Structure 1
Amino acid sequence: MISSTATLRDLAWTPSSAAAAAELALDVTAVQWPLAVWIARHPWPSLEHIPFLEAIRRLQALGGVRLYPSWRLLQDAEARGEIDPNALEDRMNRYLDHHVSAPLRTAFARLQPRLTREEIELPISTEAAALAARTAARADLPLEALRFPLPSDDARPRVDAITARYLRLYLDRGQSAWPMPGRKDGLFTAARALLMRDPALSKAERRRMAELPDDPDAVLAFGLERFEVQPRFAADYFRVHYLRMPGFVGALRYGDREAGGQGRLLRQYLALRILLEWAVAGPDGAFAPHPDLTGLAKAASHVEGAEADIADDLVLAVYRYVTADRYGVWLEAWEQTLDQHLMGSSETSVGDDAHPADAQLLFCIDVRSERLRRHLEALGPYTTYGCAGFFNLAVRTQPLDSAYAHPSCPAIVSPVARVQERATDEKAHRRRRKMTNAVRAMGLAFKKLKQASVGSLALPELSGAYLALHAVWQAFPRVSAHVRDVLRECLPSVPTRWEAVGETDGALAQPNCAPAEPAHLFAEAAAQLFRSLGITTFSRVVVLCGHEAQVENQAHRAAFECGACGGQSGRHNARVLAAALNQEAVRRLLRDRHGLVIPEDTVFLAAVHITTTDEIEWVELAGMSPQQSRVWQQLDQDLRRAGANAAAERLEQLPGAEGRPAQREAVRRGHDWSEVRPEWGLAGNRAFWIGRLPSLDARLRGQVFAHDYDWRCDPDGSYLHAIVSGPVTVAQWINLQYYASTVAPHVHGGGHKALQTVTAGLGVMHGNASDLLPGLPWQSIAAEDGRLYHRPLRLTVVVEAPVARAALLLREHADFRRKVQNGWLRLLVRDPQSKRWWSGAEILLGAEA
């Protein structure tokens, strides 16, 4: 924790005490999943114990990177009417009341309007340097006044580049033909052995490296001692190093977690950085100077009403406000203005439950599903529901002929069982496998030939004609897509079924559930799912609709897929649960143990929503009666119409799609390998609605995670607690991933797609010396260089329930209460009985009173 330095204050610098400081510093890091299973990540999950405003200020001071919307973006938002001047004034007054001490209030109030409105650029505390010489001797200085030396602006890029080179060698997941020598000995030992022979370092630098001990923890103690880091700043010194390369550090955290290393790999990274700093800068090398803010101090001391004894405090308050907090004031005013739009949304819910529906459809809460749901319910007697797209199945799914069982559930959920796709026609399966294995063998041979020292010389001549034809073929995406579909149809069709074949964490984690009875797993998952959505009666046709993207040549393909399914397609979960719910054993358990009666004339179907084209693909069509078949046929037609309408609405917001037929353009974007923006993904996400999906204001369409919930079916609040613990947490991670990628695209984003280099099978870099870029590409958040599509706003959670139920949730759910109290998300509650809106602050204040 950033503020927790007391435990280190009196320690001597031994390897163990240095390792303890390094462990405290881990709170500014986050796990970075590999590209194959890339999912949204909360960049700062361990900082939620302190207010958002304070956390961002301190992260800026440590990392030297601005983490608020830029001044230009805030001005553009005000010009568009998205920031109400009255809301801005209200937030200014609240800041004055809550964050400025009484002795400073009069002087600061005179400065605040000008400081808030004018563009003032001051150097943020780069690499935690001192505020100014005149205040450096004070003992009560805040975090911004950290004082320890770090390499100068000339030396830092060199240290970063060398570190990146060895990190990508160590973290390689089979992309490189030659593995890193000595990798089994660990990052620090292997890198150090190679550095001693690295021509990028001079003889003097290699000689200085030889002075350091061999143990990584001892190197940490050496760095703290030689760079004269005070005990109270030890953890912050290591945090600075972590924040230099958040992408690679996140990948190291993933590897350390998979290996059960408990931070050992991260300490080796710190030791490598200190080793290089000592080699490059040495004891007398060039280090970054402290910024000179005496001009600011002089200006503050002449403010009318500022006494001499508060001048230094006013300097610090003004510095904090100008470099960080005023941007927070603007951000809160922006959020407050758009919250008014949320509260002004229509109270009439689409899909009137008073009339029986011909079909019920369960969609993912994904913001892209909201459009399709709205258009479908406008076409006929259908009721749609929003839920987490893994349909409550915490399982690993293993598709046919795949050697890997993928966790098909959110990253915060541990799988409790494994389900595997198996062929029901072995003869057809063998024929198909032979053909697919031949194609894979050709691809593998081509890759090996590219990496061979001699064979690679002849490869261009051998493959040039084929690759040229392939490039021409790909230049016509719709034609190439049609040809691929024809070739795919030539493969033997293999009928399959899904079976529960094993457990990952002991038993199936359900009461009274034996491994030989997977029906219990499915019944328990379905019961919780239906109860949480308020579904107690069932139509003739019930559709479980997952979602997936259809994109080509996208390194961040998983970012377009279902986050609730671990960054993969949701088709497998939908098919597994639909098939289970059509089984008599599962229905009997639902009736006898959970009181849910599914009529005999109800059939469950599985489908997948292709978000790139807004088309529906049916993946599990069980045997249907004539009445069910008629409902399905009409539903299929209406889904096509709804998809076309949703695509037309969505294509209006995609650059370059103006004036083109929506469905045709959507298909082209999904199959074009050169398309940098096939769809927006989750960009624009703004709020999480827990209740019945309303007819939202047009400005908020496509920006809301919509999770259905009926408080009348939840007497003890347990389902609301589960929604907040799971789907809301995942949505918050997504929201903060987009936030960080938007406000700091060069550090927390994914760079420009045209310049990306897939590295080590883990992530992307710009060139060969950058950090591993941890976030979303620029084209996923911006319409063009000067115009953002995604608005960097914190998630607003809207709950439709009595205010007493929301107050109970905040009392009993400590994590959610902490998020609301510290401003990591915003809470609005609409009481369906009184029709009144409550803010999270009002509910918390009432609970405390």
Structure 2
Amino acid sequence: MSTEPAIHDSIDTAATTVGSLWPIHSFVTANPLAGFEDRPFSEAITQAADLLGGRGYPSAETFRAALKRGQIDPEVLDTELSELDYEEDPEVLLDHMANATDATEGDSESATDRVDKVLTKWLSAFLDEGSAHWSMPNRESGFYTAFRGVAEHDSEIPERGVLTDLSASPTETIEAVLAPYPESQWESIFEAELAALPGWTGLIKQRADSGGEWQSAYPISLSGYLAARLALLDAVDADITPSKDSIDPEPTAELAGAFLRAWEATYRGDLVENVAAESQSLADSDSSGRPDAQLVFCIDTRSEIIRRHIEATGDYETHGYAGFFGIPMEYQGYDADVSVDACPPILDPQHHVTDVPTDDETQASHDRWSSIRETADEIIETLEANAATAYGFVETAGSGYSLALAARTLVPGRVSDLFAAADDHVPDEHEFCEPLVHHQHTYTGDLPVGLTTEEKVEYAAIAFDLMGWEEFSRLVVFTGHASETANNPYDASLDCGACAGNPGGPNARVLAKICNEETVRAELRDRGFEIPEDTVFLAGEHNTTTDDIELYDGDVPKSHADDLAQLRADLATARENAAAERTESMGVDDTAAVSETERRAADWAETRPEWGLAGNAGFVVGPRELTSDLDLDGRAFLHSYDWSTDPDGDALEAILTGPMVVTQWINTQYYFSTVDNAVYGSGSKVTHNPVGNIGVYQGNGGDLMTGLPLQSLMAADDEPYHQPLRLSTVIHAPVERVTEVLAANEELAELLDNNWLSLTVVDPTQDHSAFQYERDLEWSPMSELAEANTVSPTAPAVADD
């Protein structure tokens, strides 16, 4: 009887413990321990340590620094330690923690290093996405077949075992290697081998699951990869017998869990207290009047800073909404060779949208100037890819080019000015293109081109429902976001996570175009959205590196010229103030803040163009008035929501099952990349080696790095900038409504029950009291927790992290 079904079932199950990894050009944040989310946090990190070797809690020094800075309330910490019968002084306990960790750390060389070296060489050649000048032979036949073809010519591969007569079928090769092992051990063997190179495994897994142009042209599967790996292991006589001994929990893991919970409770307590106070004030206020403009930003933590400063410049109202603006689309820009998914990875694209030219003269100008820039970019790419070519080119080009390179290195700010001047000659796509949103009754691949009228109305209505809108100003701006950085393999990690690591401007343009259509507006009015005749929707894009906001105002009528001019002036002021706040920690004078952000964007030697989402710790779901008077230090995701306009809880359910899950992914990636950067992050950018346009190595080979670089997380070698805390979500709604959502979504409740994030509800119907979620749909009033200073009886009094 064929064992093929059993093999493939075992592979599928084993693969769940390794997280998917997206190509670095479309960097998607994800929990590296996503496959363990069905287990309690403390259990998950222990099992992940066994499989992947990573640490699961912050170091003693990280806790010590947080305690010293006042980020951990001593009283809260004392309660957590007392619950576990720790009576020593926290400093003494931290010394114990540090000593125990030091005693267990050490380097050990893997017995399969030789196999890993061979595999990573051929994986990088096969999975290359356009950067290699010479392609691996026979890629179109798939990885296993291509590997089988080169194996006999690779002197590093011994001709022993199954490799002496490698079967054409990967399943048969796996069967041959597994012959001495009982079927009960197969899953454990696959799990260990897939986890041996989690970066490459994660990329293969993502590519095989998602499909796409590269996978269609050059297919790869986990079974084909495992067949090659097991054949190599067989050739070097490696023992693949599953280990019977599981690793012990981290030394002092229980103690570290107590410090972590105290740190998180301190942050959460301050956040909830402020939101509850603002909830009371909101109930007592009687705000009225039409704002001068409404601006909708992504819920991204970086938006919190710019939103505060915009609101301070005038009568402006800002809102938070997932940065793909609810349009699950595949987008192809005017100059783009391929389409990109412009929606969260939690969703599949439903529409294909492309930019089509509408202005021949401007299009011709764009093509002429962009071809000059493209030639310059190709030269730079050549120089970066080949050191020998670089030396020869510079010598041939002469002193002028040498001076240009020196200027790019020594005075990047001046170069930024020159590029800005050059860019002024190159019309942006939005100046001569429009997104093709009208339904074309054609398909690109499996996706319909454009949207039907019914779909347009639905997307607009969902947006306004989720944000609780009842009033519209003369200007409504949907503001996507993108970063600006030079020579940075991780640039996509600074773009919009809700757009799968792509800029959010295209999604903003699509929603604005939809909302300006008269047929759509008429149907929205029939649904109860009273959109005034003088309301104009437009798109924009927030450059998170420089805090510049570009408005796409080509369709704004002259009747709104004064409104637009005032908005531009106020956005410039907000930019100056936001940049000053962000650069203060860098020791930059207020007057130089904007120029410093521009220098960082243009400097090709800058390892930290901006902090990205470092610092993220909270997620607030509620009206903007709850947080508009608060300085949240760029640490909170903010999603607009009005419970009073959502009687059935549908909008709340959409927020919790969508944006909250994505923010938890972001939060856990930052957490684990900070806690153990060597395993879950990607080390220093200084020693990165980009490979195949798909990822980076540390040094000259090995596994693909899976997380964030040190420069995105650390202020110094031993000083984290990002505070590694699990996400604290605060919702402004009746607690019963939240309970109903959790009861209807088992996986969401499981995340909370397993302590991957926390949830607090500020209930406006119960005197604005706060309730902390425990587990099994049970809540504890936070006032009682604070007064009793004990764990609620509805939750187990254990270190259940």
Give the structure-1-normalised TM-score.
0.82
Aligned counterpart for 2:72 among listed residues 77, 83, 87 = 83
Q: CA deviation at 1:223?
A: 4.2
User: 1:118 corresponds to which residue?
Assistant: 96
Q: How does 1:403-552 map to 2 (within 5 A)?
A: 403-437=337-371, 440=374, 459=393, 461-463=395-397, 465=399, 467-474=401-408, 475-491=410-426, 495-500=432-437, 518-552=452-486
2:295 is equivalent to residue 366 of structure 1:
no
Tell me if the contact between 2:773 and 2:779 (Cα under 8 Å) persists in the aligned partners. Answer: no
CA-to-aligned-CA distance 1:397-420 (integer Å, 9 cap, x gap)? 222233333222212122222222
2-structure distance, mates of 1:606, 1:711: 27
Cα distance change, pair 621–354 in 1 and its aligned pair in 2 (3 A): farther
Cα distance change, pair 89–274 in 1 and its aligned pair in 2 (3 A): farther
Aligned residue pairs total 767
2-structure distance, mates of 1:631, 1:361: 13
Aligned counterpart for 1:566 among listed residues 500, 504, 510 = 500
User: 1:746 corresponds to which residue?
Assistant: 678
SS in structure 1 at match of 2:251? helix
Cα distance change, pair 364–276 in 1 and its aligned pair in 2 (3 A): same
Output the amino acid matched with 1:753: K
1-structure distance, mates of 2:584, 2:450: 52
1-structure distance, mates of 2:25, 2:141: 26
2-structure distance, mates of 1:480, 1:450: 18
Tell me if the contact between 2:394 and 2:402 (Cα under 8 Å) persists in the aligned partners. Answer: no
Q: CA deviation at 1:604?
A: 1.7
Q: Which stretch of structure 1 is more off in the superposition, 463-472 or 47-56?
A: 463-472
Tell me if the contact between 1:375 and 1:646 (Cα under 8 Å) persists in the aligned partners. Answer: yes
User: 2:257 corresponds to which residue?
Assistant: 328
Q: Which stretch of structure 1 is more off in the superposition, 721-730 or 327-336?
A: 327-336
Q: Which has the larger radius of gyration?
A: 1
Cα distance change, pair 843–451 in 1 and its aligned pair in 2 (3 A): closer
2:291 is equivalent to residue 337 of structure 1:
no
SS in structure 2 at match of 1:623? coil
Q: CA deviation at 1:170?
A: 1.4
SS in structure 1 at match of 2:437? strand
2:353 is equivalent to residue 397 of structure 1:
no
2:142 is equivalent to residue 194 of structure 1:
no
User: 2:203 corresponds to which residue?
Assistant: 251
Cα distance change, pair 115–322 in 1 and its aligned pair in 2 (3 A): farther
Q: CA deviation at 1:839?
A: 0.8
Q: CA deviation at 1:187?
A: 2.4
Tell me if the contact between 2:143 and 2:220 (Cα under 8 Å) persists in the aligned partners. Answer: no
Q: CA deviation at 1:386?
A: 0.7
Q: CA deviation at 1:176?
A: 1.2
SS in structure 2 at match of 1:239? helix
Tell me if the contact between 1:416 and 1:508 (Cα under 8 Å) persists in the aligned partners. Answer: no
SS in structure 2 at match of 1:538? coil
CA RMSD of aligned residues (A): 3.9
Aligned counterpart for 2:618 among listed residues 687, 690, 700 = 687
2-structure distance, mates of 1:355, 1:696: 16
Output the amino acid matched with 2:421: V
User: 1:634 corresponds to which residue?
Assistant: 566
2:775 is equivalent to residue 821 of structure 1:
no
SS in structure 2 at match of 1:661? helix
Aligned counterpart for 2:12 among listed residues 16, 23, 41 = 23
Q: How much identity, in percent, do the aligned residues show?
A: 34
SS in structure 1 at match of 2:135? coil
2:739 is equivalent to residue 783 of structure 1:
no
Output the amino acid matched with 2:32: P
User: 1:667 corresponds to which residue?
Assistant: 598
Cα distance change, pair 22–289 in 1 and its aligned pair in 2 (3 A): closer
1-structure distance, mates of 2:94, 2:36: 26
Cα distance change, pair 289–114 in 1 and its aligned pair in 2 (3 A): farther
1-structure distance, mates of 2:623, 2:387: 62
SS in structure 1 at match of 2:309? helix
SS in structure 1 at match of 2:481? strand
Q: CA deviation at 1:633?
A: 2.7
Q: CA deviation at 1:722?
A: 0.4
Q: Which stretch of structure 1 is more off in the superposition, 345-354 or 358-367?
A: 345-354
Q: How does 1:161-172 map to 2 (within 5 A)?
A: 161-172=117-128
SS in structure 1 at match of 2:540? strand
Q: CA deviation at 1:87?
A: 3.2
Q: Which stretch of structure 1 is more off in the superposition, 63-72 or 768-777?
A: 63-72
Tell me if the contact between 2:753 and 2:776 (Cα under 8 Å) persists in the aligned partners. Answer: no
User: 2:786 corresponds to which residue?
Assistant: none
CA-to-aligned-CA distance 1:298-326 (integer Å, 9 cap, x gap)? xxxxxxxxxxxxxxxxxx99x53636444
User: 2:224 corresponds to which residue?
Assistant: 268
Give the structure-2-normalised TM-score.
0.86
1-structure distance, mates of 2:46, 2:622: 35
1-structure distance, mates of 2:238, 2:509: 61
Q: CA deviation at 1:499?
A: 1.9
User: 2:170 corresponds to which residue?
Assistant: 216
User: 1:771 corresponds to which residue?
Assistant: 703
Tell me if the contact between 1:341 and 1:697 (Cα under 8 Å) persists in the aligned partners. Answer: no
Cα distance change, pair 777–585 in 1 and its aligned pair in 2 (3 A): same
2-structure distance, mates of 1:43, 1:750: 12
Aligned counterpart for 1:242 among listed residues 175, 183, 194 = 194
Cα distance change, pair 821–842 in 1 and its aligned pair in 2 (3 A): closer
| Ranges in structure 1 where 5+ consecutive residues have no aligned partner | 1-11, 97-107, 128-150, 292-315
| Ranges in structure 2 where 5+ consecutive residues have no aligned partner | 781-793, 796-801
CA-to-aligned-CA distance 1:228-269 (integer Å, 9 cap, x gap)? 5x6555423322222222211111112212449999711222
Output the amino acid matched with 2:478: L
User: 1:725 corresponds to which residue?
Assistant: 657
CA-to-aligned-CA distance 1:518-556 (integer Å, 9 cap, x gap)? 443322211111111111111122221111112111111
Q: CA deviation at 1:661?
A: 1.8
SS in structure 1 at match of 2:313? coil
Cα distance change, pair 790–122 in 1 and its aligned pair in 2 (3 A): closer
Tell me if the contact between 2:11 and 2:187 (Cα under 8 Å) persists in the aligned partners. Answer: yes
1-structure distance, mates of 2:497, 2:48: 27
1-structure distance, mates of 2:243, 2:462: 59
Cα distance change, pair 448–735 in 1 and its aligned pair in 2 (3 A): closer
Q: CA deviation at 1:80?
A: 2.5
Cα distance change, pair 236–68 in 1 and its aligned pair in 2 (3 A): farther
User: 1:704 corresponds to which residue?
Assistant: 636
Cα distance change, pair 116–428 in 1 and its aligned pair in 2 (3 A): closer
Aligned counterpart for 1:844 among listed residues 765, 777, 786 = 777
2-structure distance, mates of 1:681, 1:454: 35
Q: CA deviation at 1:735?
A: 0.9
